[in-house]
Amino acid sequence: MELNLAGRRALVTGGTRGIGRAVVEALVDEGAQVAFCARTPDGVAAAQNELAERGRVHGSAVDVGDPQALTAWVASCAAELGGIDIVVANVSALAIPDTPENWQSSFSVDMMGSVRLVEAALPHLRRGNCPSIVTISSVSGREIDFTAGPYGVMKAAIVHYTQGLAYNLAAEGIRANTVSPGNTYFEGGVWESIENGDPTLFDSALGLNPTGRMARPEEIAAGVVFLASDKASFISGTNLVIDGALTRGVQL
């Protein structure tokens, strides 16, 4: 399927590993120009080196919880790329335990990181080519699991926020959608850490999925890139759950 992404200009937060990294790779492979950020300079540099041969890609060390740094990054990317057509808000603080600090971190990074990214990018998206916003939520935003608390609440809020964007921006031709992944396993990720540190929880989570496995980052990225593409031109305001039938609630 031709997604018509050649030459499109995309921003991806949290692009050095896991789902974000897979989204960067998929966009670049489709011919898009991609700017990505993450908090750790060493991780950004390593990803930049590894991705350089795939196409035009530029990484920056940015803490999305820092409003000024995030806004400045968006502006510099727009100048470097000549505009912005696609925004993927992917970063999460992964602040799961129910503590005041984790509520603040989840709000600053997961929620406001998405809001501020979109706000900074909107003037450029309005001048973009088939502009699209994709936010990354989680199945934890639509059901109660061990992440109930700051993580799950903010992921649910992201879905609500994105659907509001879709409605309010539709007349301007800007689409907005959410992808809600199920448990996604990758090297260095949270589920590898749980597998090593809390095998009982890992086995319990794995046993809940009728496929008998967790998702791979590229499987989530495929949904993100499709929603960002021309092939999804009449899809806006949706929450695409990619979880291998893990969740059993009915989306009405």
Q: Is residue 122 part of a domain?
A: yes
- Which tops the pLDDT comparison, 178 or 145? 178
Q: What radius of gyration do the chain's Cα atoms show?
A: 17
- The first and second tokens of residue 82, run together, are 């000549």
- Dihedral sign, Cα of residue 2, residue 85, residue 82, residue 91: negative
Catalytic residue ranges: 137-138, 151, 155
**109-124: pLDDT as tens digits:** 999 999 999 999 999 9
How many other β-carbons are positioned within 10 Å of the β-carbon of residue 37?
A: 27
State pTM to two decimals.
0.96
Q: Is residue 230 part of a domain?
A: yes
Q: Which of 133-137, 172-176, 197-201 has the lowest mean pLDDT?
A: 197-201
Q: What is the DSSP letter of 42?
A: H
Q: What is the DSSP letter of 110?
A: I
How many other β-carbons are positioned within 10 Å of the β-carbon of residue 140?
A: 24
pLDDT of residue 12: 98
**45-88: pLDDT as tens digits:** 999 999 988 999 999 999 999 999 999 999 999 999 999 999 99
pLDDT of residue 205: 92
Q: Is residue 206 part of a domain?
A: no
Helix (H) / strand (E) element for 49: namely: helix 41-51
Q: Is residue 204 part of a domain?
A: no
> pLDDT-derived band of residue 1, with 50, 70 and 90 as boundaries?
confident
**123-163: pLDDT as tens digits:** 999 999 999 999 999 999 998 888 889 999 999 999 999 99
Distances (CA, A) of 239 to 100, 118, 140, 176, 214: 28, 17, 13, 10, 19
The CATH number of whichever domain residue 161 belongs to comes to 3.40.50.720
Query: What residues does 169 pair with on adjacent strands?
Result: none
pLDDT of residue 147: 82
Q: Is residue 198 part of a domain?
A: no
Who's near 154: CB < 8 A, 6+ residues apart?
A: 106, 107, 110, 111, 141
Task: Give all strands (DSSP E) within the chain, no chain letters.
Answer: 9-13, 33-38, 57-61, 86-89, 132-136, 175-181, 239-242
Number of domains in the chain: 1
Q: Is residue 248 part of a domain?
A: no
Domain span at residue 98 reads 9-187+216-242
pLDDT of residue 249: 80
**13-51: pLDDT as tens digits:** 999 999 999 999 999 999 999 999 999 999 999 999 999
pLDDT of residue 89: 98
- The first and second tokens of residue 11, run together, are 């921003």
> pLDDT-derived band of residue 172, with 50, 70 and 90 as boundaries?
very high
Q: Is residue 201 part of a domain?
A: no
The C-alpha atoms of residue 155 and residue 133 are separated, in whole angstroms, by 16
Who's near 143: CB < 8 A, 6+ residues apart?
A: 247, 249
Residue 252 has pLDDT above 80, yes or no: no
pLDDT of residue 82: 97
Burial readout 41-80 (b: 16 or more C-beta within 10 A, e: otherwise): eebbeebbeebeeebbbbbbbbbbbbbebbeebbeebbee
Q: Is residue 202 part of a domain?
A: no
